[in-house]
Chains A and B, each alone.
Chain A
């Protein structure tokens, strides 16, 4: 739970995710193949240009105002380049279908130099050779990446991506309806809460949480451990324990009392707490799932040097703090906490928010899903079947 008063977000970062999106993405991804263009383009990519095209989720950066320019405007001025910042990435499946698969799969030039999908999409792009290694020599602030993002087995050392923002999937609940504090994922299976429990609609997060409940590590899923997790979810659905599979609408259902407890996204819960400060958000004792959206440079981008400038810029702690104070997700940039303190006011209060800055003990209980494409595709199919039972 948090005691600060954050600024309201117009729309949550995940507010546009909808059920079924992931399954569709799996099918789309499975049909893709091929690699981008190299050779002369490699040399051309580092030419001095004046353009930069960025694709991101909506409401995911400070827009600025008439008297205080936002990050994009400041970067335009600092680098004297034309930045086309487009918040058109509405969800991973749609983004893949519109901006990734038809472009990279066909060898056409990319529509954007920087794309900011969720990490598992970045991983699939990397596996297909559709993103280029980061030009580390142009990004000294790469050293500011939180070490938690450096140990991913699919991109050890973050040589191909730089996280944009991160969030936690934990448990949100209304103490008035549960009648007691919740501490564990197991509490979601309390018969007292039957039919009033929400499960997250993202396969990797729901299965990951169940793996944690079973004592398994979601960063290293296997067929056996994921099957056990899915069996348990299926059993709970059939037994009527799970009332709904939700995306961001869990906030509405918690607010109107349809759900007493739900697997929940941290950022959306912070927003919910603006109206309902009595709502609690916990990281269960077994652990929770951490996810992140991440910046990648498109293979074949002609503006690599400018892309590097942007990445380096948003990894300045002061710049990252400005973004955090608007989006209120977990920043992957070291030094943001101090920079928020320096900003003062509401921003300084954010520096004390345990959801944005989990302590060491909590951070050790956060796990990032580690499934590969083959496993994920299988799991998504079964997860879709199970969620349709409900």
Chain B
């Protein structure tokens, strides 16, 4: 049970949220034509006669788009419908050349599934919640209209028209902005793991329609509104909050919620009603007569399943079983690129706990500082493995390793080479260490006496002095050993 509530004047209100996420399918060509799908091309250069809805044109579905939808369904443990059908959704708009969108209403390709979210992503022990997914279906994306290029005309670019979309419809199980954000982030992560959508909301390859209603606890579901085409997680969460508050205000003032379509204005942080595009949304859905029913055979389904990578939840569980902390496991598996990088590090033989510690603090720290993401990491898993190997075999102390890492980041050189070039090996030569400690003790006779007299905290002073005198290259464990021997015990009188 979520405990998020909106405080109204007449009491507390619950929020009920459902998300319809439109995710552009990663494929080379469009859903029903051979035109390319790459982002950013010159207008109307990725448009076939089919996408332009020229007279006599016909759709033929792209197997890869179907495959990606099935793989996505499998990743959320959804029912895969071996028999499904395409339907036409009829309406008139300049970005919809056919005058209808080919979609799937009556018999979608994927049925019910679920996505597990954490109610507090920063707390690995936080409770989880299972959010139901109603269905996933495949449909055509529309083109783009530009309104600001000309005073009296809008310009139509059909490059995006016909690109495959997966519409992923959640059940109305979300109850707060935080849950909605967590769901969207988790969904995005799964899509990127599966490789069926790049989840890039700024570029528009993933957008959300946010359905919001409010009710007093225990009441029936209220009337919902739909805020369309929200293109960031932050905005989606803001929409939930703003729209829920707006609805509470309306209802408490005695008004009714209109079932309508709204748009989010990020500059004003508010939703507003859209001018209606279509008569009361009478889309006159009917099965597309140009497309026979879609039938998936067992071989196809088996290949889809076999092609799935280890998914985030499973990977997190595996890391934890290897001794990595729950928090680190969450961090490492949040994004598929980081997980892949880390898996490569493990494959190179680095012990899991050490690998996780180093990656989450040193590597991620460096990437944050330099503003890079892991795909552009200046240090590869192989290079990191080499560095961590030098720590494990005693060549480098932890602090020396940090120094080496800094140089590696700058120069791109491998760890061994850096150590070699700059003589950064740590020394475990007891003789040399003894000699230096002797000098330190000689230069600090009073402190020696104080230590022996009971001020045991001075031990750290001697360690520091020794390390400094040796340019940081002494093996700290050996220094400790030898120092203990040479200082003797610290005994209070």
Tell me whether A and B are bound partners.
no
Mark B residues whose CB is within 8 Å of A: none
Mark A residues whose CB is within 8 Å of B: none
